[in-house]
């Protein structure tokens, strides 16, 4: 078991400790312009505030040997909607199109990305920094699971340590030349999504949802957080939209009739794709063969990414 009370150094990081839980991930320095870093008494409204914290650039510097052109977050309002699958397939699809891709697995307590790519070795490092592990087809992956002695060990850390580790996956990892870096974010709107939005130069996010939660409060929170952080929303992907019977060929909407158009219109989102439930894809992920999956519907997602965030291939 890995917890935040024992041997954080084993990960190769200089993890910032909490004091009494009130400090969070603030480094103790006073921000230029009046922000002290102490959030007590702050209403959260910047109108009429004499401090300049809202204007501070909190983004962390990438490793000097990292040259990442685009950073895309993949988010969801709740767990269990296939966010990690969409992250992985997006990286695979863009890689097939000739782009250099990578995945930063920020879902610290549920790091499933390495499994889908069949990566079971520990992360390596050299004198320059930590190296992402390359998949069979060349997708770079960085995940906390690559630092564990056993893949099934739980990561029991407090929020500040989780957030700082995610930040160090950006600052301390030698990503090299990457056209698209996909960040698999944990569900919800907690410490890690906030750290990523503030610390990484996120160019846009993809919202993943399933039919039964599209009109719910949870998706609204994910969308509103992105809007509050001034992060562009590239679009929404509806996962588990339908299932096609292999006997009769009929489509069955297991979670009910989709209301994707209604939800997209409400939040001003572009529909990137509707993805069916496919047991063969689930089997491929379990076998570490996600790069061998043929998923035509993901072509729409890849096209949407390339259109919204174009990158010149080298």
Q: What pLDDT was estimated at residue 214?
A: 61
Q: pLDDT, tens digit, for every residue of 180-197? A: 999 999 988 888 999 999
Question: Which residues have CB under 8 Å from 107's CB, separation 6+?
Answer: 83, 84, 113, 184, 185, 186, 192
Q: Based on the number of CB atoms within 10 Å of its own CB, is 138 exposed (0-12), middle (13-18) or buried (19 or more)?
A: exposed
Residue 257 in domain: yes
Domain count, the chain: 1
Domain region containing 281: 67-308
pLDDT of res. 72: 98
Cα 82 from Cα 208, distance rounded (Å): 7
Burial-class residue 103 by CB neighbours within 10 Å (0-12, 13-18, 19+).
buried
How many angstroms separate the Cα of 157 from the Cα of each of 17, 69, 146, 265? 11, 31, 16, 39
Please report whether residue 268 resides in a domain: yes
Whether 169 is in a domain gets the answer yes
Sheet (strand 140-142) strand order: 133-134, 140-142, 101-105, 177-184, 67-75, 204-209, 233-238, 271-274
Residue 211, classified by CB atoms within 10 Å of its CB into exposed (0-12), middle (13-18) or buried (19+), is buried
What's the rounded Cα separation, in Å, for the pair 156 and 211?
32
Q: Which of 76, 78, 45, 71 is nearest to 197 (CA)?
A: 71
pLDDT tens digit string along 3-45? Answer: 543 444 444 444 333 334 333 333 333 333 344 445 555 555 5
Residue 134 domain-assigned (yes or no): yes
In a domain, 194, yes or no: yes
Q: How far apart are the first and last CA of the chain?
A: 43
- Extract the runs of DSSP E, i.e. beta strands, from 157-284: 177-184, 204-209, 233-238, 243-244, 251-252, 271-274
What pLDDT band is residue 249 in, cutting at 50, 70 and 90?
Answer: confident
Q: pLDDT tens digit string along 91-106?
A: 999 999 999 999 999 9
Determine, yes or no, domain membership for 9.
Answer: no
Q: What is the pLDDT of residue 286?
A: 96
- Asked whether 219 and 213 are in contact (CB, 8 A), the reply is yes
Q: What mean pLDDT value characterizes the chain?
A: 84
CB 263 within 8 A of CB 215: yes
Structure confidence at residue 82 as a pLDDT band (50, 70, 90) = very high
Element (H, E) at 140: strand 140-142
What CATH number should be reported for the domain holding residue 76?
3.40.50.300
pLDDT tens digits, one per residue of 157-183: 888 899 999 999 999 999 999 999 999
Given the DSSP bridges, would you call strands 243-244 and 251-252 parallel, antiparallel or unpaired? antiparallel
Residue 10 inside a domain? The answer is no
Buried b vs exposed e over 18-41: b needs ≥16 C-beta within 10 Å? beeeeebbeeeeeeeeebeeeeee
Q: Judge whether 15 lies within some domain.
A: no
């Amino acid at each position: 078991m890995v917890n935040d009370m024992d041997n954080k150094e084993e990960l190769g990081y200089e993890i910032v400790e909490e004091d009494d839980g009130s400090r969070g991930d603030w480094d103790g320095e006073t921000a230029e312009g009046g922000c002290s870093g102490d959030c007590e008494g702050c209403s959260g409204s910047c109108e009429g505030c004499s401090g300049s914290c809202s204007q501070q650039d909190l983004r962390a510097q990438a490793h000097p040997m990292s040259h990442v052109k685009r950073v895309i977050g993949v988010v969801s309002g709740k767990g269990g909607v296939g966010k990690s699958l969409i992250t992985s397939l997006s990286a695979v699809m863009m890689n097939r199109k000739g782009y250099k891709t990578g995945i930063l697995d920020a879902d610290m307590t549920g790091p499933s990305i390495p499994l889908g790519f069949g990566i079971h070795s520990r992360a390596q490092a050299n004198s320059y920094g930590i190296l992402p592990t390359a998949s069979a087809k060349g997708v770079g992956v960085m995940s906390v699971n690559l630092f564990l002695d056993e893949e099934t060990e739980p990561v029991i850390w407090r929020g500040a340590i989780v957030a700082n580790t995610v930040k160090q996956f950006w600052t301390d990892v030698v990503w090299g030349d990457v056209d698209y870096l996909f960040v698999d974010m944990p569900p919800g709107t907690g410490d890690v999504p906030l750290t990523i939005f503030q610390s990484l130069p996120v160019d846009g996010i993809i919202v993943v949802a399933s039919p039964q939660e599209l009109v719910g409060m949870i998706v609204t929170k994910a969308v509103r957080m992105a809007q509050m952080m001034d992060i562009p929303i590239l679009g929404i992907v509806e996962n588990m939209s339908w299932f096609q019977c292999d006997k009769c060929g009929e489509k069955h909407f297991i979670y009910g009739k989709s209301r994707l158009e209604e939800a997209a219109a409400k939040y001003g989102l572009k529909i990137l794709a509707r993805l069916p439930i496919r047991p063969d894809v689930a089997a491929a992920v379990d076998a570490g063969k996600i790069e061998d999956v043929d998923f035509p519907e993901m072509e729409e997602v890849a096209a949407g990414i390339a259109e919204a965030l174009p990158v010149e291939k080298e």
